[in-house]
Amino acid sequence: MVDRVDVSSVLMQMRQVKTQLRSQHEQATQNVRPAQEMDATARISQEAQRISSMATSEVSGDNTVPDFQTMFKNAIDNVNENQKVAADLATRFEQGDASIDLPEVMIALQKSSVSFQAMTQVRNKLVEAYKDIMNMPV
């Protein structure tokens, strides 16, 4: 199985960076006179870049995180596998296999249904993002 970055830890890091940037920006705007405003903005952007690079280095860490294409392909393969298992269990149950019980079949069918719906939603969001990017003025 592919090692994946824990989504909640990445979101937590992003929130921490956002909070730090807001507090630094608020401090800078409160203590800065108009003549020094450009220096404060430059310092904030440098600090933001430093924090961003620190956060990305923590996320990438050992460089075992696969690229997006690999992760998406693995997700699609998992959905496909869930559907195959569910169909196989349903077929075996219909044929009277005594080792397969109805709750097991129903759970497998629900898992495959939920995973397919989730994949469809991800696909829709990707298509929407692609359209938004393509419609951006250059």
Residue in 93, 73, 83, 70 with CA at minimum distance from that of residue 117: 83
Residue 2 falls within a domain, yes or no?
A: no
pLDDT in tens, the chain (138 residues): 444 555 666 666 777 777 777 777 676 656 544 444 456 566 666 666 666 666 555 555 556 777 888 888 888 999 999 999 999 999 999 999 889 899 999 999 999 999 999 999 999 999 999 999 999 887
Domain boundary among 15, 33, 60: 60
Residue in 87, 75, 83, 92 with CA at minimum distance from that of residue 126: 75
Structural domain that includes position 28: 7-60
Residue 27 falls within a domain, yes or no?
A: yes
- Separation between Cα atoms, residue 70 and residue 86, nearest integer Å: 24
Is the entire prediction scored with pTM above 0.75? no
Residues 72 and 47 in one domain: no
- Counting every residue written for the chain, the total comes to 138
| Residue 28 C-alpha from the chain's centroid | 32
Residues 34 and 84 in one domain: no
